Structures are given as structure tokens and as C-alpha cells.
């Protein structure tokens, strides 16, 4: 028989076993119930109707829009692939479950979805929600326009009565925005169609130790910063230039439209003079040719500029001070070939007659070079050029090359400006090089002093070009083309002993062209040129220029 103490132990042990069994049963039931609930939720997600899915999508769109208004626009430069939309994530999760609805693949699909979501969960939480816009919404996205650009023009009160005439050529009252910054007040007249005039701030506290330069460089270097502090609204870009800089406003817009104004951009070009670039910097945007600074970069520049100026008292000009500050900010120069400093003297025919395949943005040093059209003043010549600019600003100065097979001539067209006809055949490689009708900034006829390839001016009398300048241009509504008339320069051509036909008999060249405002949204390419008529006795040559056809090549 068992003792009473032994019986008590058995009784107590049996109670403990029963208690543990009950606890284990409760835990198992709880776990089973949880799995059922989770499985039920998954099934509900799988069977969600299209209507409910759309409602959830709209709700998420509203939440993301409330949290971040900037998510209404999409910018591929900002890494959209890294910022997966919440809506896309929801749809992706549902697609995984629906596509793997078989019993055998259900567990594999869930594990795959959990693994994929786990890898990106932390990254997605670190970025704001971005919603992909529909094509209809993208079509309404606003591109950069003239109203988004503010011009800061550096001027001098001593030369204002002369230089203001250049500004009148391109300024558009009630359309362009900007300010002229002078050293002191000048007399103004009503309805002059000029930008507002402001007086630059005092720069006497800044050091300036360069013996060859002038202290005005300090004042001019702060033009962008002082323009920023005026607090203009809806600004994307600041464009700086001198009072003798002429801008092609529509081409400024075309250039800046290529870049994201929310990022740091410092856009301009170098000097034509290799010596100038060596002395100053190839990494510097020359201020006379103009340069553009995006709004956020202008804000950063304003924070450091005064301290930055103090660190470079020995620099010569304003533009190298700007570049020094850009170097401290770590922002390089983005070069655009259409900004022209024109550190040259003499005749711009060689440069403008072989303009690079890029929009013409600016012209500078207009008081130094000869008038671009003969027998005109500088201002009237530029005003005459604007007749072509108003017809097709995107194509102004764009070169096209063709050959007259019957007369064995080479023809180069700088649209809206000049046509040149040469005896014999010069290859496109030669014709697209500017001929040296100008001298470099140090007044030497030294072809090694330029920052680009050039070709010499022909010395042989038979190789000299016959030059035809634009005299008038108009738009033909019937053919929807711009018709330009180019007349030969009246100077007497030199005597030539060659027996081939002479272009001397051609007195007028008529060039037709269809306007192409969207040409710079495509890859850059030189226009093609075709001769519409070529008769030995004709005194007028008819040309067509425009987009090249497939397989079209410039050759004799």
C-alpha cells in the first residue's frame, strides 16, 4: 500500500499536469485563431473588388498630396526609381498574391513578397511619397518660360546713355523681368521701355588689391545676390549680363529649359581668346557673354558671397570672383556654346558665318567690333538682325552648306545673316571652321591664340568669298515659310583668271525656310541646304534650308 504522503504527491502532480495541459491548449487555440484571422484577411485582400481598390488608391493619393505638395510633379533627375510610389507598392503586393493563388505556390509567393518588401521598407520610409502622374497630368506640367527668368544687368552711369540702346533691342516690357544695377543715379525718361534701375550697394568695406582692374568689379560681382534679395516671386533662374550684352530671349529660355531649375546649375561659356582663358580660367563663365544661375544656387551663393569676396582681393573682375565662390560651393561650369563673350576685334563675319550647332544666346563687346552689317551703325545693324530673329529665333545664325554642281561652287548659309559663295570646293569640315576675319583680344594675328579651330582668310583673289547680307525677310503665309532676301556686298571683287563661272553674276540670293521652334528639343544637327534653281544666265540664286532627310549628306 502507498503511504498518505505518497498519495498526496500523486494527487498534486495530477493537478499540475491538468493545469499545464489547459494552458497549452489555450496557447494553441490562440495561435490557431490568429492564423485564421491572418489567412482570412489575406483572402479578403485577394478578393477585393476593383472599386474598393480604386477607393484605397484615391485615399492614398489624397494623403500623399496632403503630406507633400511637391509630389504632384515628377522629375526623372531626382531619382524617381528610388522613390517607389505608395500606390504602385499596393498594386504590386496585390498582384503577387493574385498571380500565385495556387495552394502549392501560396507560401512561396508570401515569402517572396515579404522578402522584397523587407529589403525596401527602410529605403521607402526615408523618402517622401511620390505619385506618378498620368500622361494627361504630365501634359499640363509647366515648362520654363520667360516669366521664370530674371535678368541682372551690370551697367555704368558714365556709359548709360549709349549702352541703354543695346538693352532696348531685346528687352520686352511687361514680359521680361530684371533690373539694371548702376553705380549712381542717372536721368531717366518715361516710356523708354527699359528695366527698372537700382543703385548697387556699398562695397567700400571689401578689399581690392588688383592693380590692373577696377573696384567696380566688386559691385558687379554682387548683382545676382542683390537681385535675389529683391524678393521676386516665381523665379527659377537668374541671368547676368553687361549693359552692352544683347540677349536672344527665346533662346535663353530654350537653353535653360533643358536643365532642372531645382538643382545647382552655373551655366555659361568661356572666352574666344585662349590667352584670356589661360590668364583667368577655362572653368569660368565670362560675364559679358552672360551666364545663368539656378535659384537654389543663387540662395547658397548669397549666404557665402561677402565672406568669399574678402578671400579673393587680388582677382581682376567680377566673373572670376563668381567662379571662385562657385569653386568653394563645388559647382562646376556647365558650358553652353551660344553664350558669346567675343573677346576679339574687327569683323565678326567669320564667327557669325560659321556659328556652332547651338542656339545663339548672346552677343557682347558690341562697342569693340565692327557693325555686323556694313554701312550701318552698331545699333541699327543689330536692329536689322532682329527682323530675322523675330521670324525664327531658334535658327538664327545656324549654318547650312551645299554645293552648286553646275558651277562648281561651295555655298555657306548663316541663316538670317549672310550667304557666302566660293569658287571651287571646300569640304564641310573646312567651311564649319570660322575664317579669321577678326583679331584676338591682344590685337595679334595669331591663329594659336584662339580657343577653337579657325581657318585663314583666303589670299588668292579667286578664292575670296562673295558675301550676300540679309536685306529683308518676311513670312509667306501661303507656303508657311520664311523668305529671306540676301544682296551682294557692293565692294568690287578682285580680278580672277580662273575659267570657271564666277559668282559675280549672282546679285541676289533668296533663301526659304520653314520655322522650326522645336529644333533644340531634338539632337543637334546642322541644317541641310538645297539649290532650287541653277541657271548660267540667272542673277538670282534660290536656296532652301531646313531639316535633313534620312540619308541626306552634304557632299558635291
Helical ranges in 280-377 per DSSP H: 295-310, 318-329, 349-352
Q: By the 8 A CB rule, do 386 and 393 touch?
A: no
Structure confidence at residue 454 as a pLDDT band (50, 70, 90): very high
Q: Which of 28-42, 159-173, 351-365, 452-466 has the lowest mean pLDDT?
A: 28-42
Cβ atoms of 273 and 248 within 8 Å: the answer is no
What is the arithmetic mean of pLDDT over 340-366? 96
Compute φ and ψ for 47, nearest 5 degrees: -100, 10
* Cα distance between residue 478 and residue 218, in whole Å: 55
Work out the pLDDT band at 86, boundaries 50, 70, 90.
very low
Q: Which of 97-101, 185-189, 269-273, 411-415 shows the lowest per-residue confidence on average (mean pLDDT)?
A: 97-101
Does pTM surpass 0.85? no
Q: How confident is the model at residue 444 (pLDDT cuts 50, 70, 90)?
A: confident
Res. 69: pLDDT tops 90? no
Q: pLDDT per residue over 47-64, tens digit each? A: 444 444 444 444 443 434
3-class DSSP state of 437: coil
Res 190: pLDDT: 85
Q: Worst-scoring range by mean pLDDT, 88-102, 187-201, 250-264, 520-534?
A: 88-102
- The model's pLDDT over 397-426, given as tens digits with 9 standing for 90+, comes to 999 999 999 899 999 999 999 999 999 999
Which three three-digit cell numbers place residue 66? 496632403
| 144-to-186, 378, 521 alpha-carbon distances in Å | 34, 32, 13
Rounded Cα distance between 468 and 505, Å, is 12
CB 342 within 8 A of CB 351: yes
Quote the longest CA-to-CA distance of the chain. 148
Name the residue with higher pLDDT: 57 or 168: 168
Give me the mean pLDDT over the 186-192 stretch.
Answer: 89
Residue 419 near residue 438 (C-beta atoms within 8 A): no
User: Could you give the 3-state DSSP secondary structure of residue 286?
Assistant: coil
pLDDT of 29 strictly over 90 = no
Identify the bridge partners of residue 199 per DSSP, sorted by sequence position: 182
pLDDT value for 492: 83
What's the mean per-residue pLDDT of the chain? 83
> How far is residue 484's CA from residue 514's CA, in Å, rounded to a whole number?
11
CA–CA separation, 432 and 512 (whole Å): 21
- For residue 94, pLDDT beyond 60: no
pLDDT of residue 537: 65
Quick: pLDDT tens for 243-263.
999 999 999 999 999 999 999
The one-character DSSP state at 548 is P
pLDDT tens, 131-147? 455 555 544 558 999 99
What's the confidence (pLDDT) of residue 417? 98
Amino acid at each position: 500500500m502507498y503511504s498518505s504522503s505518497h498519495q498526496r504527491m500523486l494527487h498534486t502532480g495530477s493537478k499540475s499536469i491538468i493545469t499545464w495541459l489547459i494552458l497549452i491548449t489555450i496557447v494553441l487555440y490562440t495561435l490557431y485563431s490568429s492564423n485564421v484571422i491572418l489567412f482570412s484577411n489575406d483572402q479578403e485582400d485577394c478578393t477585393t473588388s476593383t472599386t474598393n481598390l480604386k477607393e484605397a488608391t484615391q485615399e492614398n493619393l489624397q494623403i500623399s498630396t496632403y503630406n507633400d505638395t511637391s509630389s504632384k510633379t515628377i522629375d526623372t533627375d531626382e531619382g524617381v526609381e528610388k522613390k517607389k510610389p505608395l500606390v504602385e507598392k499596393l498594386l504590386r503586393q496585390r498582384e503577387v498574391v493574385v498571380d500565385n493563388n495556387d495552394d502549392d505556390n501560396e507560401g512561396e509567393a508570401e515569402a517572396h513578397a515579404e522578402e522584397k518588401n523587407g529589403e525596401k521598407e527602410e529605403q521607402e520610409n526615408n523618402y517622401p511619397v511620390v505619385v506618378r502622374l498620368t500622361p494627361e497630368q504630365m501634359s499640363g506640367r509647366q515648362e520654363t518660360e520667360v516669366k521664370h527668368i530674371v535678368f541682372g544687368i551690370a551697367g555704368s552711369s558714365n556709359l548709360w546713355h549709349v549702352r541703354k540702346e543695346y538693352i532696348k533691342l531685346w528687352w520686352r516690357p511687361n514680359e521680361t523681368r530684371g533690373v539694371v544695377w548702376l553705380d549712381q543715379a542717372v536721368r531717366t525718361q518715361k516710356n523708354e521701355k527699359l528695366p527698372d534701375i537700382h543703385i548697387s550697394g556699398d562695397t567700400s568695406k571689401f578689399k581690392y588689391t588688383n592693380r590692373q582692374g577696377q573696384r567696380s568689379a566688386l559691385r558687379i560681382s554682387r548683382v545676382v545676390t542683390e537681385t535675389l534679395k529683391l524678393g521676386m516671386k516665381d523665379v527659377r533662374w537668374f541671368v547676368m549680363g553687361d549693359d552692352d550684352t544683347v540677349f536672344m530671349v527665346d533662346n535663353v529660355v530654350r537653353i535653360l529649359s533643358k536643365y532642372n531649375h531645382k538643382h545647382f546649375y552655373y551655366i555659361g561659356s568661356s572666352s574666344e581668346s585662349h590667352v584670356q582663358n589661360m590668364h583667368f580660367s577655362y572653368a569660368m563663365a565670362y560675364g559679358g557673354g552672360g551666364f545663368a544661375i539656378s535659384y537654389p544656387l543663387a540662395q547658397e551663393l548669397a549666404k557665402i558671397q561677402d565672406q568669399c569676396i574678402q578671400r579673393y582681393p587680388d582677382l581682376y573682375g567680377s566673373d572670376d570672383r563668381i567662379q571662385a565662390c562657385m569653386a568653394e560651393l563645388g559647382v562646376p561650369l556647365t558650358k553652353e556654346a551660344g553664350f558669346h563673350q567675343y573677346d576679339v576685334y574687327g569683323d565678326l563675319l567669320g564667327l557669325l558665318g560659321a556659328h556652332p550647332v547651338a542656339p545663339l544666346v548672346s552677343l557682347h563687346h558690341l562697342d569693340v567690333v565692327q557693325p555686323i552689317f556694313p554701312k550701318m551703325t552698331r545699333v541699327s545693324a543689330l536692329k536689322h538682325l532682329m527682323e530675322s530673329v523675330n521670324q525664327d529665333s531658334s535658327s538664327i545664325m545656324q549654318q547650312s552648306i551645299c554645293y552648286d554642281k553646275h558651277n562648281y561652287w561651295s555655298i555657306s548659309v548663316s541663316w538670317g545673316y549672310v550667304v557666302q559663295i566660293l569658287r571651287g570646293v571646300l569640304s564641310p569640315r573646312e567651311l564649319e571652321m570660322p575664317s579669321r576675319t577678326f583679331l584676338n583680344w591682344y590685337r595679334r594675328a595669331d591663329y594659336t591664340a584662339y580657343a577653337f579651330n579657325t581657318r585663314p582668310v583666303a589670299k588668292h583673289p579667286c578664292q575670296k568669298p562673295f558675301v550676300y547680307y540679309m536685306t529683308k525677310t518676311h513670312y509667306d503665309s501661303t507656303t508657311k515659310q520664311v523668305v529671306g532676301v540676301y544682296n551682294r556686298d557692293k565692294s568690287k571683287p578682285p580680278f580672277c583668271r580662273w575659267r570657271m563661272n564666277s559668282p559675280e553674276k549672282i546679285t541676289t540670293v533668296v533663301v526659304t525656310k520653314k520655322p522650326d521652334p522645336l529644333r533644340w528639343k531634338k539632337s543637334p544637327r546642322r541644317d541641310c541646304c538645297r539649290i532650287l534653281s541653277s541657271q548660267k544666265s540667272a542673277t538670282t540664286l534660290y536656296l532652301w534650308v531646313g531639316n535633313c532627310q534620312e540619308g541626306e549628306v552634304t557632299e558635291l
